[in-house]
Amino acid sequence: MSAVGERVVSAAREWIGTPYVHQAAVKGAGCDCLGLLRGLWQEFLGAEPEAVPPYSMDWSEPQGEEHLWAAALRHMAVKDSGDAAPGDVLLFRMRHGAVAKHLGLQAHVSSNPSFIHAYTGHGVVESPLSAPWRRRIVARFIFPEEVS
Task: Answer left, alpha or beta for residue 52, where phi above 0 means left and psi between -120 and 50 means alpha.
Answer: beta
Top pLDDT among 78 and 56 is at 78
- Residue 98 DSSP SS3: coil
Domain boundaries defined on the chain: 3-142
Please report, as a single letter, which amino acid is at residue 105: L
**Across residues 33-49, what is the average pLDDT?**
96
**pLDDT given for residue 60 in this prediction:** 64
- Residue 101 DSSP SS3: strand
pLDDT digits (tens, 9 = 90+) for 96-140: 888 999 999 999 998 899 999 999 999 999 999 999 999 999 999
| Confidence category of residue 147, pLDDT binned at 50, 70, 90 | low
With a pLDDT cut of 70, the percent of the chain lying above it is: 95
With a pLDDT cut of 90, the percent of the chain lying above it is: 76
pLDDT at 1 over 60: no
> For 3-142, which CATH superfamily applies?
endopeptidase domain like (from Nostoc punctiforme) (3.90.1720.10)
